[in-house]
């Protein structure tokens, strides 16, 4: 994983938290990372307004500017579900036979099971800019594309 990929992937977790807060969405359908560009796809019931997108970008950047710890740890699946609930999961289920989950947590912001590598602090990501959105009404999916801004 390149440095850009690492930062972009980590930015997805920050963005997820911002999208959940602003739009009230819960489920991530997929993520995509290519160098300094990324795309988050979440289940959503409607297209966000321009004002909501502006707030998502602002809230995500505030978490990176302020610098939050990115914690990675392993946890028994049953314990993790008790502790964090379904918030750790995305749309596609973790196979039943997996009993030890790798959890990534930005305290008070986002928690998710994820096996990728992450930055240790959100300040390492820098800043992101939203580049566009696409809402597919028939699938109730919202795609949000972004890129890292070089500092």
Q: Which is nearer to Zn ion, 15 or 104 (CB)?
A: 104
Distance, CA of 50 to CA of 41 (rounded, Å)? 17
CA 33 – CA 58 distance, rounded (Å): 21
Residue 9 CB, nearest approach to Zn ion (Å): 6
Q: 103 vs 130, which CB is nearer to Zn ion?
A: 103
Please report, as ranges, the residues that interact with Zn ion according to CB under 5 A.
104, 114, 116
- Return the SS3 of 7: helix
Q: Which residue is nearest to Zn ion (CB)?
A: 114
Q: Structure tokens of 99?
A: 């009993």
What's the token pair of residue 74?
């392993």
- Shortest Cβ 51–Zn ion spacing (Å): 28
Pick the closer one to Zn ion by CB: 52 or 72.
72
Token reading at 70: 């990115």
Q: How far is the CB of 78 from Zn ion (least distance, A)?
A: 22
């Amino acid at each position: 994983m390149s440095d850009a990929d690492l930062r972009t992937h980590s930015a997805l977790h920050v963005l997820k938290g911002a999208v959940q807060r602003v739009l009230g969405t819960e489920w991530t359908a997929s993520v995509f990372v290519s160098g300094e560009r990324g795309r988050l796809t979440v289940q959503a019931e409607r297209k966000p307004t321009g004002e909501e997108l502006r707030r998502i970008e602002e809230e995500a950047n505030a978490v990176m500017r302020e610098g939050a710890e990115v914690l990675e740890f392993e946890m028994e699946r049953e314990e993790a579900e008790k502790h964090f609930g379904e918030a750790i999961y995305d749309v596609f289920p973790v196979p039943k036979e997996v009993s030890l989950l790798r959890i990534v947590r930005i305290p008070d912001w986002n928690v998710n099971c994820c096996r990728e590598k992450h930055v240790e602090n959100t300040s390492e990501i820098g800043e992101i800019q939203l580049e566009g959105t696409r809402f597919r009404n028939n699938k109730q999916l919202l795609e949000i594309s972004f890129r890292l801004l070089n500092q």
